[in-house]
Amino acid sequence: MSRIKNKFQDLRSKNQKALIAYVMAGFPSEKGTISAVRGLTKGGADIIELGMPFSDPLADGPVIQNAGFQALQKGMNFEKFLAIVKKIRKETDIPLVLMTYTNLLYRHGYEKFISIVKSVGIDGLILPDMPIDESGDFLKAARKYKMDTIFLISPNTSSERIKKIASTSSGFLYLVSVFGTTGGQQQFQNYTTHAIKNAKKILVGKIPLGVGFGVSNPDQAKFIIKSGADAIIVGSAFLRLMENTTVEKIEGKIEHFTKSLKKATISE
């Protein structure tokens, strides 16, 4: 069984929801990423998403754009990404999901890319610019290497299409909570609750539903979970926390914030 599937089963038995945390590999530095991951695991994150920066991140808002830009400026590349994953894997068995853009896979060749990242310990892939309609070759390679494929749905995705996307996904299904790019959201509107409830109804428990984009504090996390999500996904809020922090302080700060979010996933 995959690490991700295992994790969700484990949480279900404990009557908990999942906290999925996103950090950008190489931001604010390679060391900083490792420290952040330590803070996340200590704070109780359940799954970690590692971003690999792409020059043209068109689904991302300013915070992740900036993190990716800085990581690239400091020389982040595929080899360094693999080195970071290897280091993380020496310390923890937490499920790791790679989030990046399709071109980086296409350029290496789907199969080559997937086999390499799988071999260092990546469990799943999220590609925000890869809809199921274009996923033929990608899926073939992912299945061959038992890589989980986490596709996205959106509040305007039709019920029929949600079914199709869910049956193409493994690990969990990623609901984009709002119309917009990644990043802070002041307040969720009714359509988000509606989208979560609708998706849950369609999925009938076949695959966990993660909800992300704009979840940035414990209150929002609670709200999303109360609406029915199996996991909350938090990204930009972690990066913002790291923006003005020295490397030495990253671990502690992240651990503290992670704990406050994790609390929201445990029912009282």
Partner 1 sequence: MKLKYPKNGKFGEFGGRYIPETLVPAVEELEQAYLKYKDDADFKKELHYYLTQYAGRPTPLYFAENLTKIAGGAKIYLKREDLLHGGAHKINNTLGQGLLAKRMKKKRIIAETGAGQHGVATAMACSALGLDGEVYMGYKDTQRQKLNVFRMNLLGSKVHPVKEGTQTLKDAINEAIRDWITNVKTTYYLLGSAVGPHPYPVMVRDFQSVIGNEILTQMKKLEKKSPDSVIACVGGGSNAIGTFYPLIDENTKMFGIEAGGEGVKSGHHSATLVGGSKGILHGMLTYLLQDKEGQISETHSISAGLDYPGVGPEHSYLKDAKRVKYDAVNDKEAVEAFLLLSKHEGIIPALESSHAIAYAVKMAKNMPKSESIVVTLSGRGDKDVEEVGRYLNKNVKNKK
The residues that touch partner 1, with contacts defined as CB under 8 A, are 54-59, 61, 65, 69, 72, 77-78, 101-108, 128-131, 133-134, 151-158, 161, 165, 176, 179-181
Residue found by looking up tokens 């908990």 in the block: 16
123 is catalytic: no
Residue 58 C-beta: closest distance to partner 1, Å? 5
Distance of alpha carbon 11 from alpha carbon 132, whole angstroms: 28
Q: Which of 30, 46, 60, 230 is catalytic?
A: 60
Task: Give the residue with the Cβ less far from partner 1, 65 or 198.
Answer: 65
Helices 190-203 and 159-168, interaxial angle, to 10°?
Answer: 60
Residue 156 C-beta: closest distance to partner 1, Å? 5
Task: Give the residue with the Cβ less far from partner 1, 58 or 243.
Answer: 58
Strand stretches in the chain, DSSP E: 18-24, 47-51, 96-99, 124-126, 148-150, 152-153, 173-176, 209-212, 231-234
Task: Give the residue with the Cβ less far from partner 1, 115 or 154.
Answer: 154
Other C-beta atoms closer than 10 Å to the C-beta of 197 total 13
Residue 252 C-beta: closest distance to partner 1, Å? 32
Residue 180 C-beta: closest distance to partner 1, Å? 4
Distance of alpha carbon 218 from alpha carbon 45, whole angstroms: 13
49 is catalytic: yes
Q: Which of 46, 49, 148, 251 is catalytic?
A: 49
- What values do phi and psi take at 26, rounded to 5? 95, 0
Give catalytic residue positions.
49, 60
